[in-house]
């Protein structure tokens, strides 16, 4: 099962995982872009396209191996 939603550590938001990000980011990283989560003052504000390091090949990572406390399933776009 894919872990999607708002990711919390120590009762603070540390990330947001969405199906859009999980599926598109491996392709976008090949051209030096990625979809990132925008948040301010501890609240999610949306997503945006950012520049990053180009990767030489597509790397799929459906597992979420970051240390976190819990994930609340929630979409931030709709």
Domain ranges in the chain are 5-55
Given a contact cutoff of 8 angstroms between Cβ atoms, the answer to whether 35 and 27 are in contact is: no
Rg of the chain's alpha carbons, rounded to an integer? Answer: 13
Given a contact cutoff of 8 angstroms between Cβ atoms, the answer to whether 20 and 34 are in contact is: no
Count Cα neighbours of 50 within 13 Å in the Cβ-side half-sphere. Answer: 12
Check residue 62 and give its pLDDT. Answer: 78
Per-residue pLDDT tens digits for 6-48: 999 999 888 888 888 989 999 999 999 999 988 888 788 888 9
User: What pTM, to 2 d.p., does this model score?
Assistant: 0.77
Count Cα neighbours of 17 within 13 Å in the Cβ-side half-sphere. Answer: 19
Check residue 76 and give its pLDDT. Answer: 64
Check residue 78 and give its pLDDT. Answer: 42
């Amino acid at each position: 099962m894919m872990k999607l939603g708002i990711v919390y550590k120590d009762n603070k938001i540390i990330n947001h995982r969405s199906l859009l990000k999980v599926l598109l980011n491996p392709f976008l990283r090949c051209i030096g872009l990625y979809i990132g989560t925008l948040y301010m003052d501890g609240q999610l504000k949306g997503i945006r396209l950012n520049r990053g390091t180009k990767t030489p090949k597509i790397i799929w990572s459906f597992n979420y191996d970051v240390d976190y406390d819990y994930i609340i399933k929630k979409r931030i776009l709709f």
